[in-house]
Amino acid sequence: MNLQDWLPPYEMEAAEKTARLVAELNVLNRHHWDRCRPYQNVVKSLFGGIHEIDSLARMPWLPVSLFKTVELSSVPAEQVVKVMASSGTSGMTPSRIVLDAETATVQARTLVSIVKEFLPERRPMLVIDERGSVDGRSGFNARAAAILGFAKFGADHTYLLDDDLQPRWDVLAGFLDRYGDQPIFVFGFTWLVWERFVNAASKAGRRFDFPESTVMIHGGGWKKLQQQAVSNELFKNSLADQFGIKHVYDYYGMIEQVGSIYMECAQGVLHAPSYADIIVRSPETLDVLPANTPGLIQTFSVLPQSYPGHSLLTEDMGAWLGEDDCPCGRKGKYFHVRGRLPKAELRGCSDVIALRA
């Protein structure tokens, strides 16, 4: 894949983007069919084999949960340079993703191309996490991958939390003493930001004033917050009230498609970049759904070369809202994510998959 052919990430209009995605995904279908036996077996079972496909709706897909139970690799073992694991919260088995050097490099570069649209320069960086998440003590998982990926936009990386995930307010005070008069970058996982930053400061009766130009990027963990009735609006308002942080951007992404993240714009919607896209399917029938109709999100990415992660049916519910006409000016499909598919519905979806097999 030549990344330059797909840049900038938000300027390609729908007709050209879809045609290019379909062509590249057909190449990846064949690539993984020839090199990954488990992928070949699933595509044979669910879709009757490999065919030239003329639309995203007809692209074969893998259920994202398959990465938790099957090793899916399209490269020889000696070419694997890194194995990433999902965080595996709540006792869940983590996904395992194998990367060769080419895939790892392209994923890192595409992440940079997207984030530069929201954070064009390096800034002093506050990480709402503990240093052990990236130094090997916690293993190389989704948290480590995200922190290291976004760290390229930071300088003097300062970790707020100690080894027990408790905030170090003296460290934050020192950080703001050094950088309180210049733009700052804050990064963290959504549930850690809420529990160990927003809630913890409120309970301790602490307030801190960040510069007006501060940008926060966060992602992951919305399921826990939704269970506590914490909305995106409440999340943002609390950061503004307690810390003066008003430029807050969520992102949607997964370890199975690192690099192809979907950033939230100032309009509060998530955007698909040029080299990735989504469609939405009915959880009961798997039919493709029109705009503004909630269903299961299927994600596409042209990045995965070392493993068949280019077309995945997720367990996330959402709805796409429009394409190429967001008031923020970015091209591409934009959408909302509305949580995880309930277990009862997931069983129904599995039944459909089984029937197709």
Average pLDDT score, the chain: 90
pLDDT, tens digit, for every residue of 157-190? 999 999 999 999 999 999 999 999 999 999 999 9
Which pLDDT band, with edges at 50, 70 and 90, does 196 fall under? very high
* Whether pLDDT at 92 is above 90: no
CA-wise closest residue to 248 among 259, 239, 261? 239
What is the C-alpha separation between 301 and 195, in angstroms, rounded? 32
CA-wise closest residue to 61 among 356, 258, 298, 255? 298
pLDDT, tens digit, for every residue of 260-270? 999 999 999 99
116 and 263 Cβ atoms separated by less than 8 Å: no
Structure tokens at 338: 């509305």
8 and 330 Cβ atoms separated by less than 8 Å: no
Cα distances (angstroms) measured from residue 331 to each of 106, 260, 324, 334: 22, 15, 4, 9
CA-wise closest residue to 256 among 47, 34, 59, 70? 70
Structure tokens at 19: 């045609």
Which pLDDT belongs to residue 93? 78
pLDDT, tens digit, for every residue of 343-352? 634 433 344 3
Which pLDDT belongs to residue 136? 58
**In percent, how much of the chain has pLDDT > 70?**
92
Query: Is the full-model pTM beyond 0.85?
Result: yes
292 and 336 Cβ atoms separated by less than 8 Å: no
Which pLDDT belongs to residue 145? 82
- Find tokens 């999340």 and name the residue: 235
Which pLDDT belongs to residue 349? 38
Which pLDDT belongs to residue 205? 93
Q: How many CA atoms lie within 13 A of 226 on its CB side?
A: 8
Which pLDDT belongs to residue 347? 39
* Whether pLDDT at 80 is above 90: yes
Which pLDDT band, with edges at 50, 70 and 90, does 289 fall under? very high
pLDDT, tens digit, for every residue of 297-341? 999 999 999 999 999 999 999 999 999 999 999 999 999 998 888
| Cβ neighbours of 184 (radius 10 Å) | 23
| Cβ neighbours of 17 (radius 10 Å) | 23
